[in-house]
Amino acid sequence: MKEGLKSYSSYQVAALRMILAGLSLLLFLKKEWLLKSKKDTKYFAISGILGSGVPAFLFTAAQTKIASSLAGALNGLTPLFALLVGVLFLGVQFNKYKLFGVILGLLGAFLLIFHEGVNLQLYHTSLIVLATLCYGINVNIIKHKLGNYPPIFVAAYPLLIVGVLCMIILYFIGFEFNFNMSQNIKSFGAIVILSIAGTAISLVLFNKLIQKTTAVFASSVTYLIPIVALFWGFIDHERITFLQVVGLGCILVAIWLIRKEKSVYKEESLIK
């Protein structure tokens, strides 16, 4: 996203990302699954919009002002929102371990957002938080409403829906590609990689993980994203503050608490 934004607007990067991601999985839209999925079309549409479309625009808009390392670190909030959505709307049990995890995770997010110098960028960091809320909702939709479909279809169909919408958006905002500008070529190449590897392929793998585990467990693998994001941010000479590291640590411990509580209760029941 950061490389793509060097030549294109945030809207262009997001729209092109969704279009290319949808096209890359087009061959996997089998007719028989399309016919079977008619009754769940609304869930596929919601999944595409909340799980891919809206976050794509929110992330690129945010990264026009904030570092990619901070954007990636805030992505660690996804499992917390996945849990909250499950508790509020799907009857997921809420106990003291999960409560501590949510509080600690929110504290971590607070430290990431309000680290030194980011006060003027509060609006843009809030866009990332909103995107992770969308991810949290989408994880629960995939787990509870689309679990009977192949993971690759659960990725391809929503991306197709969003891709068509983004074609309309790109038509109105315009898009030009200049083969004579090296940065233009690099930016376009970065968007292609983002679309295929960072969206289409990763979404298929993530959907498979959601179906094989729980929504909270699957979304908790996003704790790797903040670590990788901070690492690449450091490599790209972005400034990493002490409060960012502390905030990231809080989020990681929070996710550990959310995942750990099940094994703790099992041990307690065995002791009893």
Per-residue pLDDT reduced to its tens digit, 223-232: 667 677 777 7
pLDDT digits (tens, 9 = 90+) for 103-153: 787 787 777 666 545 554 778 888 998 999 999 899 889 988 998 999 999
To which residue do tokens 């629960």 refer?
Answer: 140
- pLDDT value of residue 270: 35
Q: Specify the length of the chain in residues.
A: 272
8 Å CB contact between 226 and 72: yes
Half-sphere exposure of 48 (CA within 13 A, CB side): 25
Asked if 197 contacts 204 with a C-beta cutoff of 8 angstroms, the reply is no
pLDDT at residue 268, as a whole number: 38
Q: What is the DSSP letter of 2?
A: T
* Highest averaged pLDDT of the listed ranges 25-34, 206-215, 262-271: 25-34
Over residues 35-73, the pLDDT tens digits come to: 999 999 999 999 999 999 999 999 999 988 887 777 877
For the chain, helix (H) and strand (E) counts, in that order, are 14, 0
Per-residue confidence (pLDDT) for residue 37, from 0 to 100 = 92
Q: How far apart are CA 174 and CA 55, in angstroms?
A: 21
pLDDT value for 223: 65
| pLDDT value for 162 | 97
In this prediction the pTM is: 0.81
Name the pLDDT band for 263 (thresholds 50, 70, 90): very low
Pairwise CA distance, residues 137 & 144, whole Å? 11
Q: What are the tens digits of pLDDT across the range 230-240?
A: 777 778 777 77
> CA 269: distance to chain centroid?
36
pLDDT for the residue 199: 92
- pLDDT for 189: 94
Query: Residue type at 86?
Result: G
pLDDT at 164 exceeding the cut of 70:
yes
Q: Rounded distance, CA 73 to CA 254, Å?
A: 14
pLDDT of 269 reads 40
Instruction: Tell me: pLDDT of 82 over 90.
Output: no
Of residues 246 and 265, more confidence is placed in 246
Q: If phi over 0 gives left and psi between -120 and 50 gives alpha, with beta otherwise, what is residue 237?
A: left
Question: How many domains would you assign to the chain?
Answer: 1
Residue with tokens 């993980």: 209
CA distances from 240 to 80, 249, 253 (A): 23, 14, 20
Instruction: Specify whether the CB–CB gap between 73 and 239 falls below 8 A.
Output: no
Joined tokens for residue 270: 């065995």
Our CA dihedral for 59, 27, 170, 124, rounded to 10 degrees, sits at 0
| Cβ atoms 191, 17 nearer than 8 A | yes
Domain housing 119: 4-271
